[in-house]
Amino acid sequence: MEYLMHCTKPVACSLACLVFLVSCGGSSEDKVVEKTFKKQEATTLKNEGTAENATEKARREEERAEKLRKNAAIKRLMKLETALKKAEAEEETFSMAEALASIAEMGKDAEAFAAKIEAYLGHEDVDVRCAALSCLVGIQGKRSQSRLLASFKDKEDMVRVAAVRCWRKAGIKDVGPVLAMLDDFASDVQYEAVKAIKVAGADAAVLDKLIGKVSELDGPAARLALALAFEQKDRIGGHAAIVPVLVELMDHQDPRTRLVSVTRAHKEKMLYLAIAKKLADLMGDDPDLDVRKKAFEVLGIWAGGAAPAYKPDAEDDELRKAARAWSAWVEANATKFSK
């Protein structure tokens, strides 16, 4: 110990001391390490004539704190790996996923575990595979791109969702593979793909491709894509470029998506002839009462009160008759709308 107190290489001595203490264990280990560091640093500062240098003191204090943090991280990773192995041996997949999630939270401090993740990425349990993906991204970030791509092809929806979500969280800007995931049959995968495209800051070409697929997406993804189109309208040609998409979404199989589309048309002041015609059609044939009400409300506001009567809850024949009257009104007042 006397040698350590007068060592001219405090870093080497400190590391040696850390290794010794880690191997010994003990509940007061961190306190012992901290006390040893303080003694060594005080001696070194005195010998180098920097005992009164506040900047030097602060630098060394930061260095000491970082070494203590890394030491604690090493111990935590060891504990989590032990818990993971125990859960694996007992075939407790929920506990395995929990351990992997905890390792993921350690980020780069768990780099030593990166080489061991592959076994869990291919595990038979879906939750374990999902947790392993989060763990991989938590540790490696953008370096996990190639492995995430492989999971885009996983047979389970949950894993593909997790893979696309991890792609976004890793900050990967390549949207090509994500665009392809818009064709996935799982609604949640589509939704995560749109979110990834949004976060990546897609250019006009990518936005055009996204808009071209909007009507094919399930409700949640379609609505998010529509919102993104409006956010980026100045990059894709303004409102006029969105009109065809909006008209298509008013025919979407999901009633909420139809309602959102009608509402958005009014909010964005989309007074286009194609939209007005579609609103009149919805008043006559949309099966959802709320959609019919909203279509009448919007078109009525645009008409300014000088238009045919309409009752959204009328019988089918009356609805169709009123809708035809509204369609005729739209044609007669086409100059009120942009083409």
| pLDDT at 168 > cutoff 60 | yes
Token pair, residue 148, equals: 């995430």
The overall longest dimension of the chain from CA atoms, in Å, is: 101
Tally of domains within the chain:
2
Strand partners, 338: 272
Last residue of a domain, one of 61, 76, 91: 76
Distance of CA 198 to the CA centre of its chain: 9
Question: Cα-Cα-Cα-Cα dihedral of 102, 104, 105, 110, to 10°?
Answer: 100
Last residue of a domain, one of 44, 60, 76: 76
> Does the residue 213 lie in any domain?
no
| pLDDT at 15 > cutoff 60 | no
49: left (phi over 0), alpha (psi -120 to 50) or beta: left
Last residue of a domain, one of 76, 99, 118: 76
pLDDT interval class at 17 (50, 70, 90): very low
Backbone φ and ψ for 338, nearest 5 degrees, come out as -80, 150
Average pLDDT of the chain, as a whole number: 86
Angle at 250 between CA 230 and CA 185, to 5 degrees: 85
Contacts 24+ apart (CB under 8 A), 333-337: 333/303, 334/273, 336/271, 336/302, 337/271, 337/272, 337/273, 337/275, 337/276
Residue type, 106: M
> Does the residue 277 lie in any domain?
yes
pLDDT interval class at 42 (50, 70, 90): low
> Does the residue 301 lie in any domain?
yes
CB 229 within 8 A of CB 235: no
Distance of CA 131 to the CA centre of its chain: 15
| pLDDT at 300 > cutoff 70 | yes
Token pair, residue 69, equals: 């943090």
> Does the residue 3 lie in any domain?
yes
> Does the residue 169 lie in any domain?
no
* Nearest residue to 260 via CA among 228, 294, 296: 294
| pLDDT at 22 > cutoff 80 | no
> Does the residue 155 lie in any domain?
no
* Nearest residue to 113 via CA among 124, 123, 101: 101
pLDDT interval class at 59 (50, 70, 90): confident
- 64 C-beta neighbours (distance < 10 Å), count: 19
What is the predicted pLDDT for the residue at 43? 62
> Does the residue 249 lie in any domain?
yes
Higher-confidence residue of 192 and 59: namely 192
Note down the domain range covering 337.
238-339
CB 37 within 8 A of CB 66: no
* Nearest residue to 329 via CA among 294, 284, 292, 290: 284
* Nearest residue to 29 via CA among 85, 71, 82: 71
Cβ-proximal residues to 4 (8 Å cutoff; 6+ apart), any chain:
13, 17, 36, 40
Q: What is the pLDDT of residues 222-233, one digit of tens each?
A: 999 999 999 998
> Does the residue 288 lie in any domain?
yes
What is the predicted pLDDT for the residue at 240? 92
Mean pLDDT of 56-80: 86
